[in-house]
């Protein structure tokens, strides 16, 4: 079996053993369900079959949940010393990082899949723009993957899980809305760069139903950069540091 998958299996088992997975699933489904059906701009209030409020809530709740998921992944192994145990087994740094990445991705995919009943029920009560829903899910998925790789990087540079959590939120905030906000204050070239860096802008362009290769390249490079930085942090031990 592939080493990446062995690591992923163990991580998944540890999610479900530690209740983390259940808490996350319940909280995520609870929040998004609440706002889809009962609170604020829910379907009955706007009197329209739409998943707009669901995507709005998911956009923010995933932003907070993903760092909670990734914060322990490398930091805990560093502080307990199991990282040394892992990296002296016949696996590479990349395989370890990718295994962990994949496990977080799978859990997010499970939680997104569990919201499909919302989609089905909303679709049954009125006409729904199906294309927008699917691109909405695609946007959420790409955003999640980007934050997972940022979270893994944050987890790789510290042995303290809280530091890892806060750091990935801090990095995330820039992509989530700060770049987009700043872009409005800077005209011209700088504004364009900031706008391109803004994850929000790319997310919105995908959820609007336009899946542009420019947006995909943006997400893929963000994911690669996060994972690459995490792997580089691990590999630093070969040069000088612990």
Question: Interface residues with another protein (CB under 8 A)?
Answer: 1, 3, 6, 10, 13-14, 17-18, 80-82, 84-85, 87-92, 237-242
Q: How far is the CB of 159 from another protein (least distance, A)?
A: 13
Whose Cβ is closer to another protein: residue 19's or residue 210's? 19
Q: At a CB cut-off of 8 Å and minimum separation 6, what does 203 contact?
A: 59, 139, 142, 143
Q: How far is the CB of 239 from another protein (least distance, A)?
A: 8
Place of tokens 């760069």: 193
In the 8-state DSSP scheme, what is residue 90? S
Whose Cβ is closer to another protein: residue 69's or residue 167's? 69
Whose Cβ is closer to another protein: residue 89's or residue 214's? 89
Q: How far is the CB of 122 from another protein (least distance, A)?
A: 39
Distance CA 220, CA 216 (A): 6
Whose Cβ is closer to another protein: residue 9's or residue 49's? 9
- Contact by Cβ (8 Å): 74, 234: yes
Q: What is the DSSP string of 26-72?
A: HHHHHHHHHHHHTSSS-HHHHTS---HHHHHHHHHHHHHHHHHHHHH
Whose Cβ is closer to another protein: residue 27's or residue 91's? 91
Place of tokens 């990349």: 94
Q: How far is the CB of 17 from another protein (least distance, A)?
A: 6
Q: How far is the CB of 6 from another protein (least distance, A)?
A: 5
């Amino acid at each position: 079996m592939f080493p990446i998958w062995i690591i992923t299996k163990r991580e998944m088992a540890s999610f479900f053993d530690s209740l983390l997975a259940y808490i996350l699933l319940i909280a995520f489904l609870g929040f998004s369900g609440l706002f889809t059906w009962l609170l604020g701009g829910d379907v009955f209030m706007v009197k329209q079959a739409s998943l707009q409020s669901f995507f709005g809530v998911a956009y923010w709740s995933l932003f907070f949940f993903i760092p909670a998921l990734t914060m322990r992944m490398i930091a805990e192994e560093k502080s307990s010393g199991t990282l040394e145990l892992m990296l002296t087994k016949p696996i590479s740094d990349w395989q370890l990082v990718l295994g962990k990445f994949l496990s977080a991705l799978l859990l997010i995919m499970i939680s997104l899949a569990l919201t499909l009943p919302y989609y089905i029920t909303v679709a049954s009560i009125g006409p729904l723009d199906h294309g927008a829903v699917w691109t909405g899910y695609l946007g959420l998925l790409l955003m999640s993957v980007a934050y997972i790789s940022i979270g893994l990087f944050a987890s790789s540079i510290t042995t303290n899980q809280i530091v890892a959590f806060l750091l990935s939120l801090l990095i995330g905030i820039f992509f989530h809305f700060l770049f987009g906000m700043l872009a409005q204050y800077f005209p011209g070239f700088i504004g364009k760069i900031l706008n391109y860096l803004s994850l929000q802008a790319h997310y919105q362009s995908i959820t609007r139903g336009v899946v542009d290769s420019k947006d995909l390249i943006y997400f893929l490079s963000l994911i690669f950069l996060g994972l690459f930085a995490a792997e580089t942090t691990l590999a630093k031990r070969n040069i000088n540091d612990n």
